[in-house]
Structure formats: C-alpha cells, structure tokens
Amino acid sequence: MTLQTYHPTINVRFLSEPLNYRHRFNGRTVLMQHKFYRFSARIACLQLSLVAFVVLTVSGCGIQTYESRLGETVKYFEFREKVDSALVPEANKWNEFGIQFRPPQEFQMMPAPPPRETDDDGNPIGPVPRDDRQPNFFRTRVVLPGLLGGWRGVLPVDGNPNPNAPCYIYIMGNYQLWLDNEKDNSIDPMAIFQDFVDATATELGARMPEADDSGWQDVRIPPGISYMVKKNFQTITYQGRANGRDAEIRVLFHEPPESDIRVIVMFVVPAGLDRPGKLDEALDYALQTMVISPNKPTNRGGASAGGF
C-alpha cells in the first residue's frame, strides 16, 4: 500500500471556506476537509494583531524619545545663546594655568605686569615689577595673593545713561606659588586662603570659613540640572566701599576634589547699579562656564585644563 501526499490546494476564500487537501489512497482521490481551518485563521489574525501592536508601541516610544531629545537640544542651544550674549566670545576667553574664564562683555582685561628679570640660571633679579591690577580703590592698601587675572568694567548707576561706575573681577590661585615653592620652600601655596583673609581683614573684616559665625556659605555652581560641570564653592558677600561708593564684594573659594590647587574669585560691584540683575546673571554664567584645572604645575610643565 502506497501513500502519496500532494501539496495542498488552498482556496483563496480560506477565511470563509474549508482548506482542501487531496490524497491518493489505493488509486482513489479523497478530498479531506480539515475542520481546524477556523482555528488557524484566528491564530493568523492574532499574530497580525500582535505584530501591529508591537510596531505601534515601539514607534510611540521612538517618537517620545526623539521629542525628548529634541526638546533637550533646543534647551541647550537656548542656554548657549544666553551665555554667548552675556559673555565675551569663546575664542577670546582667558586661559592661564589651566583656568579658562569668559568675563561679561562689559569687562576688559587689565594688563599683567612684565615678567621679572632673571639671570642665566633662571633666578629672579632686580625689583618685582609693579602690578597695576592690584586694587587701588579700597580705603586701605590691599594686595591680593596669587593674583592671576583682573578685569574692569564701567557700568551705569543711579539712572545715569553714561557708564560711570567701575566694577572689578579678580581671579587668584596658588598655581604660581607652587612654582615658586620649588625654588623657595618657605612659600606655602596651601595658605592662600588665609593670606587672602589676612590681606582683606582690615578692609572687609574677612575671616576664614571655619570661624564661628563667619558668614560663609557652601554653594554648588551651577545648581540643579545643568549642561556644565558643577563646582563647589564657599562664598560670602561683604558690604564695603570702592572708589568712594558703597559696594558689594563677593568672594568665592574653590578647592578641586583631591587636589592641592586653591582658587579665589572676587567680584566688586558698586551699589545703585542700573539693571543689577543683568550683571548678576552674566557673572553667574561666567562662573558656570569657568574651567579650573586641578593639576598642580611644575617648572617642567604647566597645568592642563580640565574640560566641561
């Protein structure tokens, strides 16, 4: 007895008619109608529905992800636009010892003194050149330790349309002090915070952050969610005098994590400034975009900048 099986012939109306299979058995053709055709059709429909559901779900997730990323991209470029409209161009940023800083557009950099003369062995000789960046507007003489950069801007105050009130930005750090320490170990680069307090104690009544009721606060800049690397500062604002006017003197101390680098930033802003919120926002952007290298320099090579 031989059983021969042929490929099935499927009626195109298979969803409403039975599936027909022809078998030749003992020389006779027998038409066999399978009763499970409705079950098979239901399985096919279920599979199609499942595929459609998965496609729609995945497409929906993709659209949501795309829209979320697009929204974040828009927010980022809006932030960059605000930063670029408030600060000097990126190409003109100041870069010294691995510190990168973009001051507000209204500020111009004060020229640094010429380098001190040295002999053939690199030892300094002659007098130390005068540094005209040092503040001369306080009531007492103040020499800022480790001064690296200074900027001056003239802004309008008291409704006067003509800018007539100087503002100042100072950046100090112990980078150069570490280089000087290699030749003179009596120099203590780690004491720069104390040196600053000592230099401004008479003028500002400054005290170290560790002192009781010193007024210092811990801040994280930028706060919350941001596109910049966050930096921890200790900060305080003094009420003082500058150029014969009341002024706010804001001081910030920064210690990069696990580093021997110490950085000080000081803003001197006169009272009665027109649109003070605009300057505050610009100074905040300047701090947010500021890059501070944690690397201690040596006379064999400078500190490299850390990115953000």
Token pair belonging to 278: 């605009």
Alpha helices by DSSP H, the chain = 37-86, 175-183, 192-204, 276-289
Q: What average pLDDT score do residues 165-193 get? A: 95
| Other Cβ atoms within 10 Å of 17 Cβ, number | 12
Nearest residue to 256 via CA among 291, 223, 222: 291
pLDDT digits (tens, 9 = 90+) for 238-266: 999 999 899 999 999 999 999 999 999 99
Which helix H or strand E contains 232, and what residues bound it? strand 231-242
| Other Cβ atoms within 10 Å of 171 Cβ, number | 24
Q: What average pLDDT score do residues 168-190 get? A: 95
pLDDT digits (tens, 9 = 90+) for 95-139: 999 899 999 999 999 999 998 888 887 777 778 889 999 999 998
Token pair belonging to 277: 């919120």
> What is the predicted pLDDT for the residue at 306?
40
Question: Is pTM, for the whole model, over 0.85?
Answer: no
Cα distance between residue 278 and residue 87, in whole Å = 11
> What is the predicted pLDDT for the residue at 47?
56
> What is the predicted pLDDT for the residue at 72?
74
Cα distance between residue 127 and residue 131, in whole Å = 12
- The mean pLDDT value of the chain amounts to 81
pLDDT digits (tens, 9 = 90+) for 218-232: 999 988 777 888 999
Token pair belonging to 11: 């009626």
- What does each C-alpha distance from 197 to 11, 67, 236, 258, 264 come to in angstroms? 96, 51, 12, 23, 11
Q: 192, 174 in Cβ contact below 8 A?
A: yes
Instruction: Report which DSSP code applies to 239.
Output: E
Q: 249, 205 in Cβ contact below 8 A?
A: no
Q: 40, 59 in Cβ contact below 8 A?
A: no
Residue with tokens 């003194």: 113
Q: What average pLDDT score do residues 85-93 get? A: 96
Domain ranges of the chain: 3-33, 87-289
Cα distance between residue 109 and residue 254, in whole Å = 22
Q: What percent of the chain has pLDDT over 90?
A: 52
- pLDDT of 236 over the 50 cut: yes
pLDDT digits (tens, 9 = 90+) for 25-75: 444 444 444 444 444 545 555 555 555 454 445 555 677 776 777 777 888
> For the chain, first and last CA: distance in Å?
84
Q: What average pLDDT score do residues 158-183 get? A: 91
